[in-house]
């Protein structure tokens, strides 16, 4: 069996790591295609290096662009690659423009398409990620869902017969890496002895692309009475520069995007997380760090139980939310037991078209 994975953006490299390991352990041929959506060393290569992911077989080098220009260029680049490899499964990950491009391209070529992390919904149609995930789920032959909630969404949309609950592959990685950095700390701009800080990331267009909103978020973080490490995504840096907003203000210490082991290690010393990232909300939940999400909704609703994660769209409420005491309630395990990637490869094998 031949699986062809399409990845392009930072969270997809994290999800690829356990899938590549599981495919290799199962003796399954696995072709990796990188669209080039993320290209900075710290947004791409660092993940392949630190998570021991084999180098991509193909890198399309597409880079940035408007949604149509970026997605269209990816489709044009993917078509001959899909034809050349004729895989048993095209495996698309998550919700980026790379996901949508691979879904449309596989569908047009009549190649079986599986969508990993299927069924997530924010129900916010302003988000490009929401368009990408809904369209990909409905194009897919197989929806690999991370949670019961995701299965429920797919069922309500009439996709139950092509849905399988496999668990969350990001959980596989975060648990493994947390153990590794506890045993052997990694060098990082945030030292291991440093504790009690807020770890912050902000990169969603809804938070970065309008001057007043971005300024209000940065100001709220700068005014906190604790140190804030802001791991700055290139979108945040470029928008802040364009708007003349100084990120390095007050309590904020700006650090460049962290490698995955650095990020997991930084969660170990954090008293709280402020973010609009999907993945970080879940990683913080799994490692027991209270999180404040700077959005009106979350796809990972399980993190909200008992106040481990709190939605705080208004920057004026950030200080109070970040200052709340850590919940004492036990966390449940809605994201699986760390074996989702093995289940993913098994499912692809058992559902392969003859
Ligand atoms: C993308 C995904 C989002 C995911 C995020 C993780 C889409 C629509 N969004 O958002 O789901 O959560 O990745 O990071 O696919 N840039 C660089 N260097 C890079 C990458 C990006 O400088 O290596 C800059 C470019 O100026 C680009 C901007 O960042 O215009 C945004 O990148 P883009 O690919 O549009 O989306 P992300 O915001 O990263």
Residue by residue, what is the 3-state secondary structure of 290-351? CEEECCCCCCCHHHHHHHCEEECCCHHHHHHHHCCCCCCCCCCCCCCCCCHHHHHHHHHHHC
pLDDT bin (cut points 50, 70, 90) of residue 353 is confident
Atom of ligand 1 nearest to the CA of 67: 8
pLDDT band at 354 (very low <50, low <70, confident <90, very high): confident
- Render pLDDT for 274-319 as a digit per residue (tens, 0 to 9): 999 999 999 999 999 999 999 999 999 999 999 999 999 999 999 9
Ligand 1 neighbour 10 (Cβ under 6 A): yes
Task: State the pairing for strand pair 29-34/2-7.
Answer: parallel
Separation of alpha carbons 111 and 11, rounded Å? 24
Give the atom of ligand 1 at the shortest distance from the alpha carbon of 278.
12
- Judged by DSSP in three states, 132 sits in helix
Average pLDDT over residues 321-336: 93
**Residue nearest atom 35 of ligand 1, based on CA coordinates:** 64
In 47-145, at which residue ranges do the beta strands (DSSP E only) sit? 58-59, 89-93, 113-116, 142-145
Per the structure block, which two tokens stand in for 58? Answer: 């193909």
CA of 37 to the centre of ligand 1 (A): 7
CA-closest candidate to residue 251, choices 307, 203, 323: 323
Q: How far apart are CA 234 and CA 40, in angstroms?
A: 9
Closest Cα to atom 7 of ligand 1: 96
CB 172 within 8 A of CB 246: no
- Cβ neighbors of 132 (< 8 A, separation 6 or more) are 95, 96, 97, 99, 100
Strand order in the sheet with 142-145: 58-59, 29-34, 2-7, 89-93, 113-116, 142-145, 163-165
Q: Tens digit of pLDDT for each residue in 198-235?
A: 999 999 999 999 999 999 999 999 999 999 999 999 99
* 9 within ligand 1 shell (Cβ under 6 A): yes
- Write down the pLDDT at residue 54: 96
The mean pLDDT value for 35-61 works out to 97
- Provide the 10 A C-beta neighbour count for residue 258: 21
Kindly list the structural domains of the chain, giving each domain's residue range(s) and its CATH number in brackets, ordered by start: 2-168+336-350 (3.40.50.2000), 183-322 (3.40.50.2000)
Is the Cβ–Cβ distance between 201 and 275 less than 8 Å? yes
The predicted structure's pLDDT at residue 121: 98
Task: Work out the percent of the chain whose per-residue pLDDT is above 70.
Answer: 100
Q: In this structure, which residue's CA is closest to atom 13 in ligand 1?
A: 9
Q: Hey, what are 202's tokens?
A: 């902000």
Determine whether 80 is exposed, middle or buried from the number of CB atoms within 10 Å of its CB (0-12, 13-18, 19+): exposed
Mean pLDDT taken over the chain: 97
Ligand 1 lined by 34 (C-beta under 6 Å): no
Both tokens assigned to 53: 């992911």
Interval 98-117: pLDDT, tens? 999 999 999 999 999 999 99
203 is catalytic: yes
Residue nearest to atom 33 of ligand 1 (CA): 64
**Is 0.85 topped by the overall pTM?**
yes
DSSP-derived 3-state class of residue 89: strand
pLDDT in tens, 121-159: 999 999 999 999 999 999 999 999 999 999 999 999 999
CA distance 318 to 314: 7
Give the residue, by CA position, lying nearest to ligand 1 atom 17: 234
CA dihedral 303, 166, 42, 62 (to 10 degrees): -120
Q: Which pLDDT score is estimated for 80?
A: 98
Q: Are the CB atoms for 172 and 286 separated by under 8 Å?
A: no
And the tokens for 329? 């309630």
- CA 97 – CA 253 distance, rounded (Å): 31
Q: C-alpha angle with apex 300: 297 to 302, nearest 5 degrees?
A: 110
Q: Is 238 in the pocket of ligand 1 (CB under 6 A)?
A: yes
Considering the candidates 34, 38, 115, 203, report the single residue annotated as catalytic.
203
Contact at 8 Å (CB) between 6 and 329?
A: no
Instruction: From 74, 93, 73, select the one nearest 20 (Cα to Cα).
Output: 93
């Amino acid at each position: 069996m031949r699986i062809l994975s399409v990845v392009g953006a930072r969270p997809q490299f994290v999800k690829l790591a356990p899938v590549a390991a599981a495919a290799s352990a199962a003796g399954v041929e696995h072709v990796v295609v990188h669209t080039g959506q993320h290209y900075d060393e710290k947004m791409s290569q660092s993940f392949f290096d630190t998570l021991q992911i084999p180098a991509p077989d193909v890198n399309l080098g597409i880079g940035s662009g408007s949604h149509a220009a970026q997605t269209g260029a990816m489709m044009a680049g993917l078509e001959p690659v899909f034809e050349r490899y004729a895989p048993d499964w095209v495996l698309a990950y998550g919700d980026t423009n790379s996901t949508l491009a691979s879904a449309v391209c596989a569908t047009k070529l009549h190649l079986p398409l599986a969508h990993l992390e299927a069924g997530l919904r924010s129900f916010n149609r302003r988000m490009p990620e929401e368009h990408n995930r809904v369209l990909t789920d409905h194009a897919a032959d197989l929806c690999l869902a991370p949670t019961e909630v995701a299965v429920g969404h797919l069922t309500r949309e009439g996709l139950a017969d092509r849905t399988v609950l496999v668990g969350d592959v990001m959980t596989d990685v975060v648990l493994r890496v947390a153990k590794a950095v506890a045993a052997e700390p990694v060098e990082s701009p945030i030292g291991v002895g440093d504790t009690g800080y807020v770890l912050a990331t902000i990169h969603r267009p809804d938070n970065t692309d309008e001057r007043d909103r971005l300024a209000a978020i940065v100001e709220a973080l700068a005014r906190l009475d604790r140190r804030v490490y802001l791991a700055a995504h290139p979108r945040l840096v470029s928008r802040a520069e364009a708007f003349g907003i100084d990120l390095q203000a007050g309590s904020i210490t700006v650090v460049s995007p962290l490698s995955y082991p650095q990020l997991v290690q930084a969660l170990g010393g954090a008293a709280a997380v402020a973010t609009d990232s999907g993945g970080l909300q879940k990683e913080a939940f799994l490692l027991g760090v209270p999180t404040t999400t700077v959005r009106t909704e979350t796809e990972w609703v399980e993190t909200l139980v008992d106040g481990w994660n709190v939605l705080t769209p208004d920057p004026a409420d950030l200080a109070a939310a970040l200052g709340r005491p850590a919940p004492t309630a036990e966390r449940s395990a809605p994201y699986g037991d760390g074996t989702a990637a093995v289940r993913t490869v098994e499912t692809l094998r058992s559902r392969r078209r003859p």
